[in-house]
Structure 1
Amino acid sequence: MELTYSAEDEAFRAEIRTWLEANLTGKFAELRGKGGSGREHEAFEERLEWNRHMAAAGWSCVAWPVEYGGRGLTIAQQVIFHEEYARSGAPARVNHLGEELLGPTLIEHGTAEQKARFLPKIVAVEELWCQGYSEPGAGSDLAAVATQARLNGDQWVVNGQKVWTSLAQHAQWCFVVARTEEGSSRHAGLSYLLVPIDQPGVEVRPILQLTGTSEFNEVFFTDATTAADLVVGGAGNGWKVAMATLGFERGVSTLAQQIAFRAELDGVIEAAKKSGTIDDPILRDAIVRAHQGLEIIRLHALRTLGGEQGLNASVTKLLWARWHRDLGELAMAAEGALSILVKEAPYELDELQTLFLFSRADTLYGGSDEVQRNVIAERILGLPREARA
């Protein structure tokens, strides 16, 4: 399917395009292309300032209902916003986890008090969030989490460890899936807690990646506390709320992701021309397949636009993760022998090398390919459940 844009939609496109052109100037012009997967360390404070500049002009959380500080954009207008933002070269935003994940989750499942407390600060980019899901013994199998939270008077006391926690080093808050019912297992007895990071009971340790950067972290909770009323969806309903968050993660913004992917593919083609590998017919065939794969991802995204993605989220994740990982391998083939040389000593990588190394994790983070296939097989196709120990 293709989106059909009304005259109102095209007027909105002109509005956001004009605003971006007028504001990506001066010091903000230097931020074009900064950030993104594997490069979240780039100009973080400056990108935070840019995000707050956008918020002051009303360009934060644009998909949210107006009553919560958003613009209440239609699906078509959300697509336009993300596409124009990506096409402008504007830097990767730092507020993704609050704006795209937690905010919609609170709007759907939070109490009036929780919404009043947290949503305005997300809109204003005054508080940043991280996601406390994965653990050393519970990666893609979220139901195996062992982090515990016990209610003690008017506070939850949290103990456990989370891992692969993106941007925890910059966050003030973490939404944490923890086991709140003693003796419970799997999906039962989990709760979705909002936990402040800046307290003695929380330790954030960076994880050094192949790219030489540290977007991911380990987070240790040792008698960390949060208020008793900061549980979203009610105690024991954490699985439902956590799945809602994952659904929002793979929504309309994935169309902007594909524009970024297109730019990366163009970079691969340019590298192949520069190195001469474009003359290899096998490489040219791989480039054609990459183009076709990207079109398939786009068509699936258009077909499933809007709201919580539900089981479609698993299909979306499978499509883009393997495609992007393969693009990283194609990038190294395109660069040829130069792909094994660092840009500068001791370990400064070029953009395609960063793409290759970071994309090795694409089929793992956010739910591994194996788990996504199980979800599709069991919950969409109705096949027998995989045997579990």
Structure 2
Amino acid sequence: MDLNWSPADLEFRDEVRAFLRDKLTPDLQRAGRLATSVYSDHEASLKWQATLHERGWAAPAWPVEYGGCDWSLTQHYVFSRESTLAGAPSLSPMGIRMVAHAIVAYGTPQQKEYFLPRILTGEVFFCQGYSEPESGSDLASLTMAAVDDGDDLVCTGSKIWTTHAQEANWMFALVRTTRSAKKQQGITFVLIDMSAPGIEIRPLVMTSGEEIQNQVFFDDVRVPKSNVIGRIDDGWTVAKYLLEFERGGGANAPALQVAAENVATSAASAPGPSGGRLIDDPGFARRLAEARIRTDVLEILEYRVLAALAGGGHPGSDSSMLKILSTELSQTLTGLAMEAAGPRGRVYQPHATCPGGPVAEFVPPSDGYVSGQPWQAVAPLRYFNDRAGSIYAGSNEIQRNILAKAALGL
């Protein structure tokens, strides 16, 4: 791969910067910079998606025939980095970065025609129905039943840790259609209309106080068989393919590089443990330098995955490696940010942030007072939310097992 900037790359960078200056309004920038997790404020995220869609940039990694961009690897990287630097809010990954790829690869022409354009516009907003109360990292042990009844599957059971279930109008889910000796068999990948009778949503309060995740209950919910992606009983094949895009295939390095720069800036004005500046403390400086080196390594690995995608391939086991590196790096950086925030970073001040969902049982001060700077209020919420990063999308222990088998042949 040639990683040098060409004149065309620089021209594209300037085009992206001009677009961001023109379209990224102060309220959208605030939503991006004060986000407390990987999920931006819902309304801001949808507003930014509509702006990107109008420009044709909402889903650049999609095949061009479905609305993607014919960009080089460098252009993908430039767009991601410039958007992060400008403070653009993130888009929900459930539709654009995840289920859309499964629909493209395994969907029928009718499913592609209906869902893909509506995912782009935000008219269809997906949540993910994978984990269950007794089935998390061992996803193949799921038990939510889907009984064959003519043209429908009748679904009964529950899903948990379902992000944005209250906002979503569709769910992509794995359900148990057949019980067999091998637990990966007999699973079906379905798209469920969240307005169907028999669905109940109960919000879960996260450690940050936000209500982003939920438990969803299904009581004899009828799902047309026309909503099955791939073949009945072969949903594990679809799920494995989609998980590669959930775990990798994006560009996380630019956001982490920006986070490292922000930590360095904050530490330059924060007091160190022995007096002086925190950035001058040898222990802190060493840990920050190590994190920066690891983000540069992650960037090269992401280029390799993007190269595979550009060639018509998919991430494969590299997605597990990217998932491990990016989530553990993010945890390291949010830990360093908490150190830089100091005592004011321990104050619970969600009113100074732009969380990805409602905040339960918090009454903000009547005058809106904030102790310290907004970034110090964001730091603890990001820290708590980031602890889940090494668990969701398959725990990092599971990812290491996958790498041991697929990459090392152990």
TM-score when scaled to structure 1? 0.89
Which amino acid letter does the alignment assign opposite residue 62 of structure 2?
Answer: W
After TM superposition, the structure 1 = structure 2 runs for residues 279-298 of structure 1, keeping only pairs within 5 Å, are: 279-298=280-299
Q: Which moved more, 1:330-339 or 1:223-232?
A: 330-339
1:362 paired residue among 389, 393, 397: 389
C-alpha distance in structure 2 between counterparts of 1:228 and 1:174, whole Å: 15
Q: 1:152 aligns to what?
A: 149
CA contact (8 A) 2:33 2:89 kept: yes
C-alpha distance in structure 1 between counterparts of 2:15 and 2:120, whole Å: 20
Which amino acid letter does the alignment assign opposite residue 266 of structure 2?
Answer: A
Which amino acid letter does the alignment assign opposite residue 60 of structure 1?
Answer: A
Q: 1:382 aligns to what?
A: 409
Q: 1:318 aligns to what?
A: 324
Q: Which runs of 5+ in 2 are unaligned?
A: 273-277, 352-361, 365-369, 371-375
CA gap 1:36/1:241 in 2 versus in 1, 3 angstroms: farther
Q: 1:46 aligns to what?
A: 44
Q: Which runs of 5+ in 1 are unaligned?
A: 384-389
CA contact (8 A) 2:254 2:299 kept: no
After TM superposition, the structure 1 = structure 2 runs for residues 107-186 of structure 1, keeping only pairs within 5 Å, are: 107-183=104-180, 185-186=182-183
Aligned partner of residue 210 in structure 2, secondary structure = coil
Aligned partner of residue 375 in structure 1, secondary structure = helix
Which amino acid letter does the alignment assign opposite residue 263 of structure 2?
Answer: V
Q: Which moved more, 1:188-197 or 1:211-220?
A: 211-220
Q: Which moved more, 1:290-299 or 1:178-187?
A: 178-187
Q: Which moved more, 1:300-309 or 1:353-362?
A: 300-309
Q: 1:12 aligns to what?
A: 12
Q: 2:194 aligns to what?
A: 197
Aligned partner of residue 284 in structure 1, secondary structure = helix
Report how many aligned residue pairs link the two structures: 378
CA contact (8 A) 1:3 1:302 kept: no
Q: 2:300 aligns to what?
A: 299
CA contact (8 A) 1:38 1:213 kept: no
C-alpha distance in structure 1 between counterparts of 2:339 and 2:29, whole Å: 32
Residue 151 of structure 1 and its aligned partner are, at CA, apart by 1.8
Does residue 332 (structure 1) correspond to residue 338 (structure 2)? The answer is: yes
CA contact (8 A) 2:247 2:393 kept: no
Q: 1:71 aligns to what?
A: 69
CA contact (8 A) 2:345 2:380 kept: yes
Aligned partner of residue 188 in structure 1, secondary structure = coil
Does residue 59 (structure 1) correspond to residue 57 (structure 2)? The answer is: yes
TM-score when scaled to structure 2? 0.85
Residue 172 of structure 1 and its aligned partner are, at CA, apart by 0.8
Higher relative contact order (CA closer than 8 Å, sequence separation 6+): 2
C-alpha distance in structure 2 between counterparts of 1:214 and 1:225, whole Å: 27
Q: Any idea what the Cα deviations from partners look like across 1:167-220, whole Å, max 9, x if unmatched?
A: 212111111011111345421111110111112221222111111112211111
C-alpha distance in structure 2 between counterparts of 1:88 and 1:329, whole Å: 23
Residue 26 of structure 1 and its aligned partner are, at CA, apart by 6.5
CA contact (8 A) 2:84 2:258 kept: no
CA contact (8 A) 2:29 2:87 kept: no
Q: Any idea what the Cα deviations from partners look like across 1:140-190, whole Å, max 9, x if unmatched?
A: 111111111122111111111111112212111111011111345421111
Which amino acid letter does the alignment assign opposite residue 313 of structure 1?
Answer: S
C-alpha distance in structure 2 between counterparts of 1:46 and 1:363, whole Å: 26
Q: Any idea what the Cα deviations from partners look like across 1:262-321, whole Å, max 9, x if unmatched?
A: 222223223323321214321121111111221222122123324321111111111112
CA gap 1:244/1:266 in 2 versus in 1, 3 angstroms: same
C-alpha distance in structure 1 between counterparts of 2:270 and 2:35, whole Å: 26
Does residue 103 (structure 1) correspond to residue 100 (structure 2)? The answer is: yes
Q: 2:22 aligns to what?
A: 22
Aligned partner of residue 361 in structure 1, secondary structure = helix
CA gap 1:127/1:249 in 2 versus in 1, 3 angstroms: same
Residue 127 of structure 1 and its aligned partner are, at CA, apart by 0.8
CA gap 1:226/1:259 in 2 versus in 1, 3 angstroms: same
Q: 1:263 aligns to what?
A: 258
Q: 2:373 aligns to what?
A: none
Aligned partner of residue 12 in structure 1, secondary structure = helix
Q: Any idea what the Cα deviations from partners look like across 1:89-138, whole Å, max 9, x if unmatched?
A: 111223x2111111111111111111111111012221111111111111
CA gap 1:53/1:340 in 2 versus in 1, 3 angstroms: closer
Q: Any idea what the Cα deviations from partners look like across 1:201-242, whole Å, max 9, x if unmatched?
A: 212221111111122111111111221121111112111100
CA gap 1:252/1:85 in 2 versus in 1, 3 angstroms: farther
CA contact (8 A) 2:347 2:377 kept: no
CA RMSD in angstroms, aligned pairs only: 2.3
Q: Which moved more, 1:167-176 or 1:245-254?
A: 245-254
Residue 353 of structure 1 and its aligned partner are, at CA, apart by 1.0
Aligned partner of residue 267 in structure 1, secondary structure = helix
Which amino acid letter does the alignment assign opposite residue 24 of structure 2?
Answer: L
